[in-house]
Amino acid sequence: MKNWIWLTTITIAVIVSVAGASYYLGVFPTTQKQKLIVSTTTSLYDTGLLNTIEDTFETKSPIDLQIISRGTGLAIKLAQDGDADMILVHAPSKELPFLTQGYGVCRKIIAYNFFAIVGPESDPAEIQGLTALEALTKIVEAGRKGQAMWVSRGDESGTHIKEKELWKAANFTWEDLRSEANWYVEARKGMGGTLILASERFAYTLTDMGTYLSHSTSSLITLKLLISQEKELLNVYSAISVNQTRHPHRNFDGAINFTKFLVSDEGQQLIGKYGKDEYGQPLFYPAVKLLQETNNPLAHSIREYAFFNGAECPVEYRCGRPELYG
């Protein structure tokens, strides 16, 4: 008799628990957020911009952003291997093969700023006031005399790729320069680590403005801004979704939705405002509306530097998403 009463009590308790849970789930349905892995460059991540974007985006979307920060070369490699859903990078020369080799689709330019050449306050190579290419020539001359040092990221990041392009434009062979170990040093670190090493060694380096301003304002470095805001130092950021036909398991729809947010008025405003209060100027500038201007010299420079065959994304790589391109 006691066993029967005990079993009946347990059965009733289970029924009540199940019924209660069913009622709760019916009234308050739960949805598991879908994961979106974004492989990105360190300059976007280290400045904190992506944290701000993530906080806003996730309040409006059933998507959980998971951000992996690497140099551009490694960020692209992760996506090529199927370990990310999209990339946010700043190296057009590497982005084009990512599209043409079938790994990426739906490229959208989202922002720009400028690289900068920074160095010790004493400016031993006397580059302030020169063009970027003139400055690099002076740094090489001073370095070979033992009067200056250069710290390179040396990591195939977007900044490192830009550096190699600049050395070539200044008529130097990068492979030869890196063998001159007495003045040319490879940090093989992210942008923040490279800046700190350059500051410690009173050396020159190439940096994106966002990371430079955040580290300089935080007194992590004592490097002086010497050259920026010129065409040769233009720095353009793009979002590219991983091709669903190459990696069907990736969250293609989520990548497209996040890209749409980045190029929306709200997303562009977040980009344009970030850093103003803390640094007195934005760390990045929104690119979408600028690129709609036909006669703007800066827009022309961005098109010249970062467009492929006259488009930010050639038609054959737009993957049936005309709404992204107006």
Confidence (pLDDT) at 26: 42
- Per-residue burial over 160-198, b if 16 or more Cβ lie within 10 Å, else e, is bbbbbebbeebebebeebbeeeebbbbbbbbbbbbbbbb
Confidence (pLDDT) at 181: 80
Tens of pLDDT, residue by residue over 179-235, are: 988 999 999 988 999 999 999 999 999 999 988 998 998 899 999 999 998 999 999
Query: Over 120-187, what HEC string results?
Result: CCCCCCCCCCCCHHHHHHHHHHHHHCCCCCEEECCCCCHHHHHHHHHHHHCCCCHHHHHCCCCCEEEC
Tens of pLDDT, residue by residue over 110-120, are: 999 999 999 99
Tens of pLDDT, residue by residue over 3-38, are: 444 444 444 343 334 344 443 334 434 457 899 999
Tens of pLDDT, residue by residue over 190-200, are: 899 999 999 99
Backbone angles phi, psi at 324, to 5 degrees: -75, -15
Residue closest to 167 by CA, chosen among 213, 135, 203: 135
Backbone angles phi, psi at 41, to 5 degrees: -75, 155
Q: What is the rounded CA–CA span in Å between residue 305 and residue 66? A: 30
- Does residue 212 contact residue 225 with C-beta atoms inside 8 Å? yes
Between 314 and 42, the higher pLDDT residue: 314
Superfamily of domain 115-232: Periplasmic binding protein-like II (3.40.190.10)
pLDDT at 94 over 60: yes
Confidence (pLDDT) at 203: 98
Tens of pLDDT, residue by residue over 138-174, are: 999 999 999 999 999 999 899 999 999 999 999 999 8
Q: What is the rounded CA–CA span in Å between residue 204 and residue 202? A: 7
| Per-residue CA distances from 4 to 7, 12, 18 (Å) | 5, 12, 21
Confidence (pLDDT) at 1: 45
Give domain 34-113+234-324's CATH architecture. Answer: 3-Layer(aba) Sandwich (3.40)
Confidence (pLDDT) at 31: 57
Answer whether 34-113+234-324 and 115-232 agree in fold. yes
- Give the SS3 label for residue 282: coil
Average pLDDT over residues 51-76: 94
Average pLDDT over residues 254-274: 97
Confidence (pLDDT) at 47: 87
* Strand-pair partners of 151: 185
Which of 42-46, 77-81, 283-287, 298-302 has the weakest average pLDDT?
Answer: 42-46
Q: What is the rounded CA–CA span in Å between residue 168 and residue 4? A: 88
Domains of the chain, residue spans = 34-113+234-324, 115-232
- Does residue 176 contact residue 212 with C-beta atoms inside 8 Å? no
- Does residue 45 contact residue 67 with C-beta atoms inside 8 Å? yes
